[in-house]
């Protein structure tokens, strides 16, 4: 089988021929149909973050495919099922986070495409308890971006408390932001979309944003405060300036949810203003299996639209360059069929 492999942090990915893995107990073997390219994969391949993966490894945690074989202890999954392989490859299942619905915070977790081989390959093995079934009517090329970009922003909107009567600022309308905007609208919030490229600003209009702000020419915090301020802000952009603007755009009692993970980003909080305004700053990391099942359900009901471009796996390196250069609207998905 073909796989895109990180052999070294400073080298392009290599397309290698590998032996199709055998599923061990509790594992399923998935013939991949589609795999999305997330910014996390780019950080993984570059070794950008404090905890680094160990090369050689296969990135990819937006994998969709068909179960072709399975090991013992996977009675709930059937050969032929379409499943999603997400960032949470497995968790311990018994710590306080796991048993309280916060498996995404498990300290023993393993992650697809980071601590275990991921989905940039024609086949992948995954833990049968942690794959999520994909409803048959969903196009695998749509399901892939929903598996990280979708569930991550869906969870962030939940965590933010966005709802009817609330104004939600979505900062960055790319692969994640275009979905965050849709989930905030589904939640019933008034939405403010911010970006710095024409095509993404146009997309925000198309997706029904109530207000659209061009951060190249407009002062985001001032514009949003003129509307009354943001009750919630979801930060998906990758600059310190955009983090600051999202924080400053909050109204009293507002909540900023940090989601994007630019390398070396930081946000200095003005303590006086933070206390007097009763603001909250919180982080949100991916979502649970249940969150992902809900994301698929919303898509099956026709409530969300996935904006994506499809590529072949052999284009992996140029695809990364295109994302880094901001040349991609929505999500890039490798068609592995
Ligand atoms: Zn991701
Ligand atoms: Zn755990």
Ligand closest to 150 (CA) is 1
Centroid of ligand 1 to alpha carbon of 260 (angstroms): 10
How remote is the CA of residue 222 from the centroid of ligand 1, in Å? 31
Cβ count within 10 A of residue 195: 27
What are 63-114's pLDDT values in tens digits?
999 999 999 999 999 999 999 999 999 999 999 999 999 999 999 999 999 9
CA of 155 to the centre of ligand 2 (A): 19
Looking at residue 238, what is its pLDDT?
78
State the distance from the centre of ligand 2 to the C-alpha of 313, rounded, in angstroms. Answer: 33
- The stretches in the chain having pLDDT less than 70 are none
Helix orientation angle between 151-160 and 177-186, rounded to the nearest 10 degrees: 50
Q: How far is the CA of 9 from the centre of ligand 1 (A)?
A: 18
Q: How far is the CA of 95 from the centre of ligand 2 (A)?
A: 4
| Rounded-to-integer distance, Cα 173 and Cα 193, Å | 7
Q: Closest-lying ligand to the alpha carbon of 92?
A: 2
Q: What is the predicted pLDDT for the residue at 53? A: 96
Distance, in Å, from the CA atom of 272 to the CA atom of 277, rounded to the nearest integer, reads 8
Nearest C-alpha neighbor of 63 from the set 92, 28, 91, 97? 28
**Ligand in nearest proximity to the CA of 119:** 1
pLDDT at 196: 94
Closest ligand, as measured to the CA of 108: 2
Q: Which residues fall inside 5 Å of ion ligand 1, going by CB?
A: 38, 40, 148
| H or E stretch at 71 | none
Measured in angstroms, how far is the CA atom of residue 111 from the centroid of ligand 2? Answer: 13
How remote is the CA of residue 108 from the centroid of ligand 1, in Å? Answer: 19
R_g (Cα) of the chain, nearest Å:
20
How many other C-beta atoms are found inside a 10 Å radius of the C-beta of residue 63? Answer: 31
Separation of first and last alpha carbons in the chain: 12
pTM over 0.85, yes/no: yes
CA of 99 to the centre of ligand 2 (A): 7
CA distances from 48 to 34, 41, 44, 52 (A): 25, 10, 7, 7
Residue 102 Cα, ligand 2 centroid: separation in angstroms? 8
How many Å lie between the centroid of ligand 1 and the Cα of residue 87? 7
CATH 3.40.30.10 fits 2-133+307-335, yes or no: no
Closest by CA to 169, choosing from 207, 115, 223, is 223
DSSP state of 146: I
Q: Which residues pair with 332 in a beta bridge?
A: 37, 309
Nearest bound ligand to the CA of residue 107: 2
Task: Give the separation between CA 333 and CA 136, rounded to whole angstroms.
Answer: 19
Domain range annotation of the chain: 2-133+307-335, 150-283
pLDDT in the model for residue 159: 97
36 CA to middle of ligand 1, Å?
A: 8
Q: What is the pLDDT of residue 264?
A: 78
Q: Whose atoms come closest to the Cα of 95: which ligand?
A: 2
**Domain 150-283: homologous superfamily in CATH:** NAD(P)-binding Rossmann-like Domain (3.40.50.720)
CA of 114 relative to ligand 1 center, distance in Å = 11
Residue 105 CA to ligand 2 centre (angstroms): 7
* Beta-carbon-side half-sphere exposure of residue 124 (alpha carbons within 13 Å): 35
Measure the CA–CA gap between 218 and 241, rounded to whole angstroms.
13
Q: Is 228 exposed, middle or buried (0-12, 13-18, 19+ CB in 10 A)?
A: exposed
How much distance in Å is there from the Cα of 305 to the middle of ligand 1? Answer: 18
Contact 194, 215 (CB under 8 A): yes
> What whole-number distance in Å separates Cα of residue 92 and Cα of residue 80?
27
pLDDT at 188: 98
């Amino acid at each position: 089988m073909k796989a895109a492999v990180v052999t070294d942090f400073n080298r392009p990915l290599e397309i290698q021929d590998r032996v199709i893995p055998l599923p061990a107990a509790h594992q399923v073997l998935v013939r991949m149909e589609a795999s999305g390219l997330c910014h996390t994969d780019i950080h993984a391949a570059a070794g950008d973050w404090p905890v680094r993966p160990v090369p050689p490894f296969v990135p990819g945690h937006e994998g969709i495919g068909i179960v072709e074989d399975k090991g013992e202890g996977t009675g709930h999954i059937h050969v032929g099922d379409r499943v999603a392989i997400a960032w949470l490859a497995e968790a311990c299942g018994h710590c306080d986070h796991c048993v309280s619905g916060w498996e995404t915070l498990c300290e023993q977790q393993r992650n697809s495409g980071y601590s275990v081989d991921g989905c940039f390959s024609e086949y992948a093995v995954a833990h049968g308890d942690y794959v999520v079934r994909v409803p048959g009517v969903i196009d695998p090329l749509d399901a892939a971006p929903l598996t990280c970009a979708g569930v991550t922003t869906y969870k962030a909107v939940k965590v933010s408390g966005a709802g009817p009567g609330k104004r939600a600022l979505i900062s960055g309308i790319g692969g994640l932001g275009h979905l965050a905007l849709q989930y905030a609208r589904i939640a019933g919030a008034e939405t403010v979309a911010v970006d710095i490229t024409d095509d993404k600003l146009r997309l925000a209009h198309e997706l029904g944003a109530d207000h659209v702000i061009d951060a190249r020419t407009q002062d985001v915090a001032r514009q949003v405060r003129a509307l009354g301020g943001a009750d919630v802000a979801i930060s998906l952009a990758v600059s310190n300036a955009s983090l600051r603007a999202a924080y400053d755009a909050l109204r009293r009692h507002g909540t900023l949810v940090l989601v994007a993970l630019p390398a070396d980003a930081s946000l200095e909080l003005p303590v006086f203003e933070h206390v007097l305004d009763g603001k909250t700053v919180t982080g949100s990391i991916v979502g649970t299996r249940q969150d992902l099942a809900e994301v698929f359900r919303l898509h099956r009901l026709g409530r969300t639209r996935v904006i994506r471009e499809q590529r072949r796996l052999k284009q992996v390196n140029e695809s990364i360059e295109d994302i880094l250069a901001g040349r991609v609207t929505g999500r890039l998905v490798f068609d592995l069929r």
